[in-house]
Amino acid sequence: MNPEEGVSPLDLLGREPDQRLLGTDLAQLPPSVAEPPAPLPESPARRQVVRAGAAMTGVSLIGGLALALLGLVELIASGNAVWLVALVIGIVLVSTHWGWVHVAELTGNKIESRRGASLEQRQRQWLLEIEPYPRWEVSTSAGEDGSITIVTVCHRPVPSAEGTFTFVREEVTREWHSPEEPAADVAERAELVRRQAAAETARARGEFEAARDAYEQQLMLRDDEQQRRAALKAASEALSERINTHLRDPPLTE
């Protein structure tokens, strides 16, 4: 049942999942891996902001026209400077009423950009939860003649560009069972194949986790050693400076 081993767990240590697993390579992942986070629907807050902007645009246009017309009529009738101010305000409201649309659009886009950043974070977290070890999965399909086919597929991790990994889907075995075979025998065989697939997956996961734990432990030891050396170097420099200071001092006299 084991396909030829292609990639050692050691070849995948220190690599991160390829971004293509969110798109073109998503079909290479087994069904047991959850779907990546999907984009959220449009925010209710954005819709409210856009509606408010449209409402303010209408109010500014209609109110500005009314105020400008009233100001013009009253200014001609009475000549009062107050109506001149009202006329100017009305004209300003009419000429700038589209500004509310732009303000609402910018505000709404800012809201959506924050939600987009949240989506990127959730997708990043989803990717990091994918570990690069093979998964064997089994499925069955019924033919038009009543036959049953048991298919075993291996989803195998492979190195990708720039320190990442992706998966490739390989069909391992395909068993065809005649419609004359007892259903109980076919079901028993399918269950046996599923157990073998689960055992292979568990074995591969154990091998990867053992290699990963040893790798991370070595990284920690390396960091500790570097810190120890840095501390020793700092201590040596301080001691050397202390000695040099005493050497520069004049000698003691009795």
* 253 shares a domain with 192: yes
Say if 208 falls within a structural domain.
yes
In a domain, 26, yes or no: no
Question: Are 151 and 242 members of one domain?
Answer: yes
Partner residues linked to 170 by β-bridges: 154
Is the residue at 24 inside a domain?
Answer: no
Alpha helices in 79-178 (DSSP H): 81-95, 99-128
- As a whole number, the mean pLDDT across the chain is 77
- Of 126, 158, 181, which closes a domain? 126
Q: Is the pLDDT of residue 31 over 80?
A: yes
Same domain, yes or no: 119 and 156: no
The yes-or-no verdict on residue 155 having pLDDT over 80 is yes
pLDDT tens per residue, range 135-150: 999 999 998 888 999 9
Pick from 55, 91, 56: which is nearest to 70 by CA?
91
Structural domain harbouring 68: 44-126
Q: How confident is the model at residue 1 (pLDDT cuts 50, 70, 90)?
A: very low
Q: Is the same domain home to 142 and 207?
A: yes
Res 154: pLDDT: 95
Burial class from Cβ neighbours inside 10 Å (0-12, 13-18, 19+) for residue 132 reads: buried
36 belongs to a structural domain = no
Residue 172 token pair: 């391992």
Which of the 8 DSSP states describes residue 132? -
User: pTM for this structure?
Assistant: 0.58
**194 assigned to some structural domain:** yes
Distance CA(133)–CA(127), nearest Å, equals: 14
Residue 116, pLDDT > 60, answer no
Indicate whether 90 and 173 sit together in one domain. Answer: no
One domain, residues 153 and 230 = yes
Look up residue 59 and give its amino acid: V
Last residue of a domain, one of 82, 108, 126: 126
φ, ψ at 61 (rounded to 5°):
-70, -50
**Which one has a higher pLDDT value, 234 or 7?**
7
Q: How far apart (Å, rounded) are the C-alpha atoms in residues 185 and 191?
A: 10
> What is the chain's percent helix, strand, coil content, to nearest 5?
60, 15, 25
Residue 58 and residue 1 share a domain: no
Place of tokens 């004049």: 250
pLDDT at 58 over 50: yes
Q: Where is 169: in which H helix or E strand? A: strand 164-177
- Are 158 and 51 in contact, with CB atoms under 8 Å apart? no
- Asked if 115 and 144 sit in the same domain, the reply is no
Query: Tens of pLDDT along 194-251?
Result: 999 999 999 888 888 888 887 777 666 666 667 656 655 665 665 566 556 655 555 4
**Bigger pLDDT: 232 vs 10:** 10
Residue type, 234: A
Q: Is 35 exposed, middle or buried (0-12, 13-18, 19+ CB in 10 A)?
A: exposed
The predicted structure's pLDDT at residue 253: 43
Query: Are 236 and 157 contained in the same domain?
Result: yes
- The answer to whether 49 touches 104, Cβ cutoff 8 Å, is yes
Exposed / middle / buried, residue 9 (Cβ in 10 Å: 0-12, 13-18, 19+): buried
154 and 53, same domain (yes or no): no
**Is 153 found in the same domain as 87?**
no
Residues 170 and 251 reside in one and the same domain: yes
Domain boundary among 101, 126, 151: 126
Q: State residue 243 phi and psi, 5-degree precision.
A: -65, -45
